A and B are shown apart, each in its own frame.
Chain A
Amino acid sequence: MATDNTLIEVNNLNVGFRFGDEYYNAVEDVSISLAKNEILAIVGESGCGKSTLATAIIGLHDPHNTRIEGEILYNGLDLTKLNEKLYNRLRGNDISMIFQDPLGSLNPVMTIYKQIEESLIYHTKLNDKERYDRVLELLNQVGIPKPERVMKQYPHELSGGMRQRVVIAIALANKPPVIIADEPTTALDVTIQAQILDLMKDIQEETESGIILITHDLGVVAETADRVAVMYAGQIVEEAPVDVLFTDPKHPYTRSLLNSIPNELHEDGEELHVIQGTVPSLQNLPRKGDRFRDRIPWIPDEAFDEDPILHEIAPGHKVRGNSWKYFHFEGEEME
């Protein structure tokens, strides 16, 4: 489904980590595309492989202990085949990343100005004056008050929300078409989170870039994303436009997850839905069959495919396997 607007296309990607002599896939058979002017959210619980997918796209994995199969196409270029030097030209210029922890991703001994300027020095031929103007422009764009003063400050002098704005400014410095945001607001308070999300949306509309938003927070997804992919145990189990995913979820995992959020639908004292069991560890992951099967044991065996694949059930709505047709919550009747 590559169209002119496609920025990134991931085809059948496997990312495996080495334990001893064996590789175990933390991301398996992931195919996904990101279009211009779109926010694609990837949701899932910790350990589902969402951050691994992001680091594979931007090439930050450890090459000695990671095996990548499949392709990641950007402008017809397969990123999995790039060497480090070429990748460096891409990173920050074409694809940039916003990390979860703004304190950890800023250099504590460099001023804010130096850190934003760094990427401009590396990727552009701007002179001192032009760089200064650009940094000022960026700080204004991300809504930092008194940018001339903040420029000369160090990360520890800023609040968490301001730091995250600086990180976003760095990511935006070269107007990259693709931005990957890995849990950008998880470390922030709700009011600051709302500001940062609004900011990201504004910037995305302004620059027409594509954003891959990685998060575990379904509320954040509902407020910002255009399209959503839900991951479980390294695989995408469902992919849909945001309104479809929340109004008409299909896959058992998506439905269970949505049901475990505390919300208005729960009456006083009513218990929340709990997904039985735990996510299997990477080495113990069943490599065959439906990975979610063990957690919904009341569903009869014939519901599960031998090899569930992601297929389209409606335009733009993909679900893995056919178990969703048989799924009902424990104790409830089939609809």
Chain B
Amino acid sequence: MEFLELQNMKIHFPIRGGIFNTIQDYVYAVDGVNMVIGTGKTYGLVGESGSGKTTIGKGIIGLEHVTGGKVLYEGVDVTNKARSRAQAYRDYNKDIQMIFQDSTSSLNPKKRIKDVIAEPMRNYFNYTKEEELNRVIELLEIVGLNENAIYRYPHEFSGGQRQRIGVARAVASDPKLIIADEPTSALDLSVQAQVLNFMQRIQKEYGLSYLFISHDLSVVKHMADDIAIMHRGRFVEQGSKEQIFNNPQHIYTKRLLSAIPKIDPLNREEHMDERRRIEAAYHEHQKDYYDENGRVYDLMKLSDDHYAALNPNISAEQLNIKGDA
């Protein structure tokens, strides 16, 4: 039994129009995605803006209506059950939490930090006032803020501190999975390092799992065990970190990897040539990697820890020759 599993998950948004405002078509934001997150592991979800990566996170936690497929949590089907008060889904609500990208808008400006962090505890545990306070202080210490923060308001903190409060709040209900949606995109380098370190420390301490959503490949590489690359609502490649970074098969993955700026100024001419070559190959060989409707093919198993969405009619060897040409 897997900890969290997505089976052919689909999230389609209707496009309405016409005289009677009927449904004309759908936006296939997430279109048939399979994913397994193991206990204590970090799953990195990478894609450009609009690829549907955030929508997957929202679908899991119940902020977006899942239109097809299943979300299984410890073997129980919890699809679209986040709003349910039934006892059967209580664990699922408590055990999955989210950290948002924008710390300013994800903390209630009228609430003190104590109340912000205590809210999940009040929902799920029967702590006395004193226990609650002690727990809040303990959580603040874990994320490196001191005790006198509890009676202050969110605006009194810097961006990095606020994001750490967001982490503390997510941890407050003793979750098993945290969905981190671009947790460090708005932060400076040195502050990003702090937040990432805290996330790793908490993971070790509590055996947490993360679904780490980001467009920054170097951060994902640092954090994740498994990675999925997303494009147009589907996975183009999925596998272990080593496979994705050292042995990418899909042209889109190659293109994404070659576009990351590298800190290697001595060889930058070569990077630029490589990047342009892959960019040209991407445009030239699109039809080999996407079907006639521009849809990404189904994932094909390449090895135990590596899947790629390749055209079933063309073998991987042929593609490689073309890609290198």
Contacts and interface: CB of A to CB of B under 8 A. Distances in A.
Contact of A272 (B196, B255, B262, B265): B196
A284 interface: no
A137 interface: no
Contacts of A246: 263-265
B263 A222 contact: yes
Interface size class of B (residues with CB under 8 A): 35 or more
B260 interface: yes
B189 A45 contact: yes
Interface string B248-260: 0000000110111
Contacts of B193: 260, 262, 272-275
Contact of B260 (A195, A219, A242): A219
Interface in B259-300: 259-266, 268, 271-272, 275-276, 279
B266 A243 contact: yes
Given A222-B261, A246-B265, A257-B190, A198 B218 contact: no
B219 interface: yes
Given A242-B265, A262-B222, A271 B188 contact: no
Contacts of B218: 219, 261-263
Nearest to B161: A278
A205 interface: no
Interface in A266-286: 266, 269, 271-275, 278
Interface residues of A, number: 38
Interface string B190-202: 1111101100110
Nearest to B220: A262
A198 B276 CA distance: 9
A290 B196 CA distance: 29
24 contacts: A190-B261, A191-B259, A191-B279, A193-B259, A194-B258, A194-B279, A195-B279, A201-B272, A216-B188, A222-B261, A222-B264, A246-B264, A246-B265, A260-B190, A262-B223, A263-B263, A269-B200, A271-B197, A271-B201, A272-B197, A272-B222, A273-B193, A274-B190, A274-B193
Interface of B: 48-49, 158-160, 188-194, 196-197, 200-201, 204, 215, 217-219, 221-223, 255-256, 258-266, 268, 271-272, 275-276, 279
Q: Lowest 7 A-B CB distances belong to which pairs?
A: A219-B261, A262-B222, A272-B193, A260-B193, A45-B188, A194-B259, A189-B48
